[in-house]
Structure formats: C-alpha cells, structure tokens
Amino acid sequence: MLDEYMRGFKKRNPNLRVFCSNLHMDETTPHLHVNFVPFYTEQKKIGMSQGVSMKSALIEQGFIPQNMKLNHLVLWENAKHAHQSVPEYKASQDWKKLPKRKKDLSTLEVYHENLQVAQNENALLKLENGKLLTEKNSPYKSFYFSDPDKQIFVQNKLDDLNIPYRENENGFE
C-alpha cells in the first residue's frame, strides 16, 4: 500500500522532486517519511530558469491560494493528502477491484447487489449453523470411515453390543 502511495505521489506531484523516502516500521502503524525539493519553472521571471519554493511549486501544480486560510499548502493537503479511516481506505480499494460492469453502476446499485450477496451468504450460514446445532444436540455422534471395511467392522461391533445407530449422508451416527 505504501509502495503504491509513493508511486502515486510522484505522479500527483511532478514539481516535488523526491530524493529520499523511508518506510518506518518502528511504531504501531507503518508509515513513510518523504523528503522532496519543491521545484518550479513557469513563474520564474528573472535569474535562473528554475527555482526552489514550495509555494511556487504548488501554484504551478494548480493550487492557487484563495485567501489566508485557503492557501496553496492547505489546498494541496486537502486535495492530495486527505486522511482516510481504515474502513474508508478499504472501501476505496474494493471499488478499484470491481469489474468495469459494476463501476458503471451507481454506488447505490453496487451496495444493493452486495447486500443481496451478503443476505444469501447469511441464509446459507444459518442453514449450516442449524445443521451443526442439530448435530451437536443429537444423542448420536457422527462417524465417517474412508475404508468401508472399517465402517462395517464398527457397525458390526455396535450391533453386537446392542448400541443403536443410524446411517447419514457422511457415514453413520
């Protein structure tokens, strides 16, 4: 994820020349330290053809200050570096993985389709849970032998001892 972020960072910020990025695993959350030099060229009127200025580099990338509170840096941070919660990030990644057909659907249609899938899975799980509860509460215990001779041997011993059993789809109980 962080590697993907770094590749995207360079594409999203062509005026911020990254010279070093380090992955830190020393805290509870892995994170990156990105070191860059902000270059600009278009607004240079005198002197050298390039300059080093965060403000000018971001303005050149299209972050035009609107006022003191919405300056170039605030606009850049809000547009490019909005922090997401873990569920928000996972949802955004899930959306990228959807086939094109689903991307053409509205978000509500996708949620509805996902809800139907989840409801179907839930119904199957309830059936399976019911079977497991029935088996758990049954006085019989399931036996399955891959070798038919062993199964016949055990059933004969149960008959000899007058222990009741019944056959099921997996063997006998």
Q: Dig out the tokens for 128 from the structure.
A: 């399976």
Per-residue pLDDT tens digits for 91-149: 666 655 666 555 556 677 777 878 888 888 899 999 989 888 887 887 777 777 778 88
Q: Are residues 131 and 147 in the same domain?
A: no
d(CA 80, CA 90): 18
Q: Do 78 and 125 belong together in one domain? A: no
Total Cβ atoms within 10 A of residue 56: 19
Alpha helices in the chain (DSSP H): 2-12, 54-60, 72-80, 86-97, 100-103, 107-137, 148-160
| Residues 38 and 79 placed together within one structural domain of the fold | yes
Question: Which amino acid, 161?
Answer: L
Its domain, for residue 130, covers 86-137
CA–CA separation, 158 and 164 (whole Å): 7
Entry pTM: 0.42
Residues 60 and 93 in one domain: no
Do 78 and 9 belong together in one domain? yes
CB-facing half-sphere around the CA of 157: CA atoms within 13 A: 6
How many domains, in total, are found in the chain? Answer: 3
In a shared domain, residues 55 and 12:
yes
The pLDDT tens digits for 2-20 are 788 888 888 888 889 999 9
